A and B are shown apart, each in its own frame.
Chain A
Amino acid sequence: MSYTVTDARLLRINLTKKTIKVEKIEQELFRKFLGGRGLGSKYLIDEIDPKIDALSEANKLIFANGLLTGTFAPTGGRYMVVTKSPLTGTIASSNSGGFFGAEFRNTGFMMIIIEGKSAEPVYISINDEDVKIVDAKALWGLSTHETTDKLVEAFGVEGAKVACIGPAGENLSKIAAIMNDKHRAAGRSGVGAVMGSKNLKAIIVKGSRRVDIEQLEKFKEIVKVQNGMLKAHPVTGEGLPALGTKVLDNIINSNGLYPTRNFQSAIFSGVAEVCGEALVNKKYLQNNTACYGCVIACGREVALPNGLKGEGPEYESGWSLGADCGANDLIAITEANFLCNELGLDTISAGATIALAMELYEKGFIPKEDLEDMVEPRFGNSEAVVYYVKGMAYRETKLAAKMADGAYRLGKAYGHPELAMVVKKQELPAYDPRGVQGHGLQYATSNRGGCHVRGYMISPEILGVPEKLDPQALEGKPAWVKIFQDLTAVIDSAGLCLFSSFALGGDEYRDLINAVLNTELTTEETLKIGDRIWNLERQFNLAAGILPDQDTLPDRLLHEPLPDGPQKGCYSQLQKILPEYYQLRGWDEKGYIKTSTLKDLGLV
């Protein structure tokens, strides 16, 4: 059985009342917001008061497929989790690959909107039209891997896919992730805690309906050409398959941007031990793996000499649990990464929070009794990295319980929030913005707080793709950031992987979208959809009380020059480029959206 791309419906499940409803999605919404991040955000904003407590019953948790998820579009397997973030207070949208999204689309449902809160642990089971809320008491407390195995076994139908939380989400850690297919994470902004707050342990999906493409022949041709482009491009055809994202360790370190010991330095002396090349040379890397519909296959299947097996570390995870904590033991870093996946913690936030605990402890701001005799968090101590991952997921000690809510709240609890390397309370990823000005602007303005995948300026500023920009130059950067942010919103809402954008551009995404929507959008109009989504998210944040004064970076990055490396002496010049960015966005000089802009985008 098949259905057309926009003939999709949504499932509305109320966990308080235990009701399940099916609703139609208005066609117009696909043209305005595509799906995934855009469509999910539109529903969230229409349905919740942005000021609510994110962990209260009033919050909603939306699983949204992208417009092209489950089709055979290149990398078309991604789904998005949209909710209000308990970490940042902003809108959260965290996306993930693997196979869950495509299977979810095969049920014929474009979205699931989860409301209310169950009194007891439950999971949701979806087998095409057969949707049930099922008791999950026996699953509560289990790791994401155990949960997945048990659910698939109980489901009894081959090919069912699971998204679930681990103990971290159950314990409402504000940096908890939702894991799918065991190793893939909708990681950021604490979406796992929202799921935990609703007593929802998992969602299992199995579908037999296929998305029907009206202009099938045309679509096939477009996909063939684009898969060819992905295979021919050095990044997506060669670099990512061979070395994965960890090819970046040496690139970023050699450029003097590799944040070390909680951003106290940007050069890591232990990089040779932990880099992507080492993962290959030490023979830990077994294979590369691919998500649904992906010819790139950047995933890492890794086996350690101690017998542990899993996927990762990715560049970000390897950095946060490694260099940021001053740790150079690749085995321990990988083990900590596996643990994050099993316990359901966001790796970036987990590592960055441990790094802050290390700085606070070494500076004497954390009293020893808060450790409750557990390992001392000191830079370079990889045993501490592994322990505190576990400690945070279970809120084990006085210190770990505070760490479970992320770096900002940890710093605040010990009197030094300024040492938390966060934007809008979300931990920054693996690029020191003092050495790369456009990327710093993108961190400061990201609608979900500190994040590298809302507009990956590292590509032009460091990697030289599509063209090389001087990382310290300011001129032209606001325009680049805006275009990257808008394009990324399109990719996220289409349900495609951001990595495809190393080889594909606005014209390619436009062609895919036009083929399934039967539209004739120009590239400019396609980017305008991204602009609309960006402003929609900003509207939510402003209404939630996350005001423009939070479009900034930690003091350390604004005022303390880089202490070493090729960019020694540089610091972020954010204030010099932020006004131009506001202007390009159609916002007033204070950073509020002008009514004329909202009108132009059809948001009023």
Chain B
Amino acid sequence: MITIKFYSLLRLLVKIEQVELELADVPISTVLEEAAKKVKTPFLHKLVQDGKLITGTIILINGRNIHHLDKLNSRVQDGDEIALFPPGGGG
């Protein structure tokens, strides 16, 4: 099972904190698409545009930013935790 957690503006938008998916060894892009199917409010456009991560989007797999893994092709394994932050974090 993979846990996807929504944070910041995304959480305020989709109004849920997390979803769980029965997936294993898939790219993060697949995880995102499957999560979008499970959540009523569309949210993917807040993270990805034209197949690319929007500047400032933070997607972590077990705390590691996919920017420094294999971006949207980064592999996700059973038991992994995904954190999604749309651009907008600052302080």
Q: Which residues of A contact B (CB under 8 A)?
A: 234-236, 238-240, 242-248, 250-251, 254-256, 276-277, 280, 314-316, 459, 462-468, 470, 499, 502, 565-567
Contacts and interface: CB of A to CB of B under 8 A. Distances in A.
Nearest to B62: A566
Contacts of A470: 67-68
A498 to B, nearest CB: 10
A466 B65 CA distance: 16
Nearest to B15: A281
A251 B9 contact: no
B91 A254 contact: no
Interface in B61-91: 62-65, 67-68, 83, 85-91
A280 B10 CA distance: 13
Contacts of A565: 63
Interface stretch (B19-27, B29-37, B50-58): B50-58
A255 B12 CA distance: 21
Contacts of B87: 234-235, 239, 464-465
Contacts of B58: 251, 462-464
18 contacts: A234-B87, A235-B88, A239-B9, A242-B12, A250-B83, A250-B85, A254-B7, A254-B63, A255-B60, A255-B63, A277-B11, A463-B89, A464-B55, A464-B57, A464-B67, A465-B90, A467-B55, A470-B67
A253 to B, nearest CB: 9
Determine which residue in B8, B57, B85, B91 has the highest number of CB atoms from chain A within 10 A of its CB, and name it. B91
Return the 7 tightest CB-CB contacts between A and B, nearest first. Answer: A239-B88, A566-B63, A245-B91, A234-B87, A235-B90, A315-B91, A234-B88
A109 B46 CA distance: 46
B63 A242 contact: no
A254 B62 CA distance: 8
Contact of A567 (B63, B83, B91): B63
Contacts of A250: 7-8, 83, 85
A465 B9 contact: no
Determine which residue in B7, B58, B68, B88 has the highest number of CB atoms from chain A within 10 A of its CB, and name it. B88
Contact of A242 (B9, B60, B91): B9
A245 B90 contact: yes
Nearest to A276: B8
Interface of B: 7-9, 11-12, 54-58, 60, 62-65, 67-68, 83, 85-91
B56 to A, nearest CB: 5
Contact of A247 (B57, B60, B65, B89): B89
A348 to B, nearest CB: 12
A231 to B, nearest CB: 13
Given A468-B67, A565-B63, A248 B9 contact: no
A305 to B, nearest CB: 21
Interface of A is mostly: helix
A245 to B, nearest CB: 3
Contact of B55 (A248, A251, A276, A466): A466
Contacts of A276: 8
Contact of A239 (B55, B62, B64, B89): B89
A70 B65 CA distance: 41
A161 B63 CA distance: 45
A243 to B, nearest CB: 6
A238 B90 contact: no
A255 B89 CA distance: 13
B7 A256 contact: no
A334 to B, nearest CB: 17
Contacts of A502: 90
A240 B90 CA distance: 7
Contact of B8 (A243, A465, A467, A566): A243
Nearest to A237: B88
Contact of A463 (B54, B56, B60): B56
A251 B8 contact: yes
Given A247-B88, A468-B65, 18 more contacts: A235-B56, A235-B87, A235-B90, A242-B88, A248-B90, A250-B7, A250-B85, A251-B7, A251-B89, A254-B83, A277-B12, A280-B12, A315-B91, A462-B58, A463-B56, A464-B57, A467-B55, A566-B62
A255 B65 contact: yes
B65 to A, nearest CB: 7
Given A240-B90, A247-B8, A566 B64 contact: yes
Contacts of A251: 7-8, 58, 85, 89
